[in-house]
Structure 1
Amino acid sequence: MLVYVVATALAVLFTYISVVYDKTLKDSLQKSRYVYLKPRIDVWQKLTLYVLRVASVLPLVLVAGFRYKVGTDWGNYLRSFRSVTHGKDGHYGEKGYRFIQKFVAFFTSNYIWLFLLCAIIFAGFYFVGIYKMSINPPLSVALIVATSIYFSFLNGMRQGLAQAILFFSLRYVFKRDWKRFLIFVLLASSFHKSSLVFLIVYILYGFKIDIKRIIFYIVIFGMVGLAGGQLVKYVVMKTKYAHYYMSAFADGGFEWLWFFISTAILVVMCCYYENGQKSELKGQFNVLLWMQMISVIFCLISATVPESNRIVWMFNIGQILSLPILISLEKDKRWRLVLLVLILGFYMLATYIAIRGGSHRVLPYRMSFGGE
């Protein structure tokens, strides 16, 4: 567990340093305008900023890239890659992931390069998205790990890559650029088809939220989901995903821990709804609130619909942006600190319990440089 703690701490530290350095550069540009100097940032300053940002990405990339037998599906990805290096068509995943396999196999048979490339893509989309969208990048980086998003990637790389791309696509939801949003959602679906569900997020941007009706929505959709479990089973059993109903995925377990945390966050977001409407981030806050509500609804039906937690994970990516916004809406510094400690504390505790309990099978951590 220590390796994950250290990697996260280093990532957060370098993110913080890069944010401070970037702010310093912008402040110097602002001051130079007042003294009639030509405002500019020289090449070395830009290079320093880029180096700091790359340094913030590296710890999580290296831990994910050089892992050995870490993650539930690690063996499946290895076997699929081995089949490609032996001249066969990789049988695992959608076209986007298969392309990555073939691309790596064209240059080397060392599987480590596959895991490294996937880790770079995963972290790249998240970190660029965070630097572009988050009002508190260091906290957002910490939340990648605290919310188990990072560990779910170590478990299932395909969906992890898809979620990273979907996270980046939120930028175009906020900018109301449906063409680029669609492109990135389709790109994400080339790694995991469930990503197409995310298209609804663009539409939700324009829908007003009635806080009094949120509980009504959750109850109604939750009941529909629970009652429709058999219908979903009937449909899925006629597809290639029928094996989920005949495997350990259909054990009927309810995600109590994540349901509690997701519901608690939804309640707190509702409490700060009025503040959110007065903020310049009103549009973002509303979309992220919708995403949180969808996450809670799918947590509700996790006992009847196998793998519905994948949808929960998909919509939980919004928390990387919503939680920093939520904390910023509290004007009292002391209560802001309380919110920060409670949110990070609950998430870190839940993730620790889940990981120690065998979730995602990321413990013990082992490292390899390939060549197996």
Structure 2
Amino acid sequence: MISLVVVSGFRYKSGTDFATYTENFQYLNMKKDTDTQTQGNAENQSQEGDIGFDILCQHLYKISTDPQIMFFATALITNVLIVLVLMKYSSRFELSIWLYITTFVYYSTFNGLRQWMAAAILFAGTKYLLKERSFIKYLPIALFASLFHKSALVMIPIYFFINSKTFSKRNLLMVLGFMFAVFAYSKFLPILANVLEGTQYAHYVQIFETDTNGINPLRLAVYFAPIGMACFFYKQFNPKKDIQVDRLLNLCIIGFFVMFMALRQVFFARLIFYFDLYYLLLIPRLIDIGDKPFKRFLYYSISVGYFAFSYLLLITGDAWILPYTFKITLF
């Protein structure tokens, strides 16, 4: 856990969002800065509505004006929450940690600091989402997470969507809905526009209409592989027909279809943050499929396969993780 926090917290100019978050942190010094443009940018930033992150940064600014304190604090909070949940709920903790890095989730936390903090907070509520199922207890967690990124509110309806058997009529309707959104994209846009109207994300509708860039299909295949295998070997994957396992699988299925929609518009991939972490609980369960030799084969195939995937993303410059620079400027 310490190494995860240190590598992330003391990175320098690593990640596509590094410069943006550095500037935003410095904008908090508005009262001391007489530059009008800087003040205007700060006001725009504050209008995004993620007040929890702004308050956190304001308190951090009192401790140090060096932006590295923000990167370290967010790395500490995000990684500690994620690792503690994996430690408690993963069937194979060591594999989950390996996957945290090799599925590129860990590197993804270098960017989108606000949203990953929100995702980590929601992940901390796994007990009430998958295990004990208490909406009264899960709702405050979701609302608190939304203070860091309002998109976290999407997990409130998701709480109800996942509470069914994997091969149920409800899930079939959900799958058909996602298929409609992808293959009838032009008809789906007006519906999305109505949902986003009046929110801080309303301006994205124009982006959806003019920008048609989608994700690399390889990413979609990577998301499909574990849920495809879990569904194909479902009787072995969930022999006791445990509803908790079904909820976990349902979450990952929704995550896959979110990425499926991202084939049409890459913006949808931002929502995958809230589902990525549950893959880290799902994939280790696949090792329960088959006899002992097959389990060993799966274990090493998964480990090597995801390592190759992360290596490919790193060397191709995905998310600007490389070149990585470790630099302590805080002390």
TM-score range, shorter chain: 0.7 to 0.9
Distance 1:239 1:214 in 2: 28
In the alignment, which of 76, 89, 94 is matched to residue 120 of structure 1? Answer: 76
**Does 2:113 match 1:165?**
no
**Does 2:272 match 1:312?**
yes
Q: Which has the larger radius of gyration?
A: 1
Give the RMSD, CA atoms, in angstroms: 2.8
In the alignment, which of 230, 247, 262 is matched to residue 189 of structure 2? Answer: 230
Q: Is the 8 A contact 2:52 2:147 kept in 1?
A: yes
Mapping for residues 247-286 of structure 1, pairs under 5 Å: 250-279=211-240, 282-286=242-246
Mapping for residues 1-372 of structure 1, pairs under 5 Å: 57-87=1-31, 91=45, 94-173=50-129, 174-210=131-167, 218=175, 220-227=177-184, 228-231=187-190, 234-235=193-194, 236=196, 240-241=200-201, 242=203, 245-246=206-207, 250-279=211-240, 282-327=242-287, 329-370=288-329
Deviation for aligned residue 1:66: 0.6
Deviation for aligned residue 1:315: 1.4
Q: Is the 8 A contact 2:162 2:251 kept in 1?
A: no
Q: 1:177 to 1:216 in 2, by over 3 A?
A: closer
Deviation for aligned residue 1:215: 7.4
Q: Is the 8 A contact 2:164 2:170 kept in 1?
A: no
Q: Is the 8 A contact 2:107 2:321 kept in 1?
A: yes
Q: 1:253 to 1:204 in 2, by over 3 A?
A: closer
TM-score by length of 1: 0.76
Distance 1:279 1:185 in 2: 30
Deviation for aligned residue 1:122: 0.5
Q: 1:231 to 1:265 in 2, by over 3 A?
A: same
Partner of 2:36: none
Q: 1:278 to 1:70 in 2, by over 3 A?
A: same
Deviation for aligned residue 1:217: 5.2
Distance 1:304 1:229 in 2: 12
Tell me how many residue pairs correspond in the alignment. Answer: 313
For structure 1, list consecutive stretches of 5 or more residues without a partner in the other structure: 1-56
Q: Is the 8 A contact 1:143 1:320 kept in 2?
A: yes
* Structure 1 counterpart SS, 2:54: helix
237-246 or 114-123, which deviates more = 237-246
Distance 1:65 1:366 in 2: 11
For structure 2, list consecutive stretches of 5 or more residues without a partner in the other structure: 32-38
Q: Is the 8 A contact 2:215 2:263 kept in 1?
A: yes
Deviation for aligned residue 1:361: 0.9
Q: Is the 8 A contact 2:214 2:266 kept in 1?
A: no
Q: Is the 8 A contact 1:97 1:191 kept in 2?
A: yes
Q: Is the 8 A contact 2:51 2:147 kept in 1?
A: yes
Q: Is the 8 A contact 2:227 2:252 kept in 1?
A: yes
- 1:253-279, CA deviations, whole angstroms, 9 ceiling, x for partnerless residues? 243012111112111111232234434
Partner of 1:17: none
Give the % identical residues.
25
- 1:335-366, CA deviations, whole angstroms, 9 ceiling, x for partnerless residues? 11221222233322222222222221111001
